[in-house]
């Protein structure tokens, strides 16, 4: 197995967004984990930003939480030429 991907500030931001929406919907971590077919420790790691969320999990999380994929990512200013 290869080394784990480094955790970034984007991972931490995505985790905060997941936690915030999950709490707003009054979902327990275990309930979200069951809906995503992972264990509760994985959701905790995502929310803490200590483990990057795989693309396929982000897509499923957007469906479960009722948000667009854009919801998870920080606003990126337009690139100036």
DSSP tag of 50: S
- Return the structure tokens found at 28: 């327990």
User: What integer pLDDT is reported at residue 79 of this predicted model?
Assistant: 57
Q: Is 32 part of any domain?
A: yes
Q: Is 65 part of any domain?
A: yes
Q: Could you report how far apart the first and last alpha carbons of the chain are, in Å?
A: 41
- Specify the number of domains making up the chain: 1
What does the pLDDT look like over 29-62, one tens digit per residue?
999 999 999 999 999 999 999 999 999 999 999 9
| 46: helix, strand or coil | helix
CB 32 within 8 A of CB 22: yes
CATH at 16: 1.10.260.40
pLDDT(73) > 60: yes
Containing domain of residue 42, as a range? 9-69
Q: Is 53 part of any domain?
A: yes
């Amino acid at each position: 197995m290869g080394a784990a991907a480094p955790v970034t500030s984007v991972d931490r931001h995505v985790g905060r967004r997941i936690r915030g929406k999950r709490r707003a919907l009054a979902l327990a971590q275990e309930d979200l984990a069951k809906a995503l077919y992972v264990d509760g420790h994985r959701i905790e790691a995502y929310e803490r930003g200590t483990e990057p969320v795989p693309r396929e999990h982000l897509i499923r999380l957007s469906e479960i939480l009722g948000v667009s994929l854009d919801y998870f990512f920080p606003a990126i200013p337009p690139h100036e030429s």
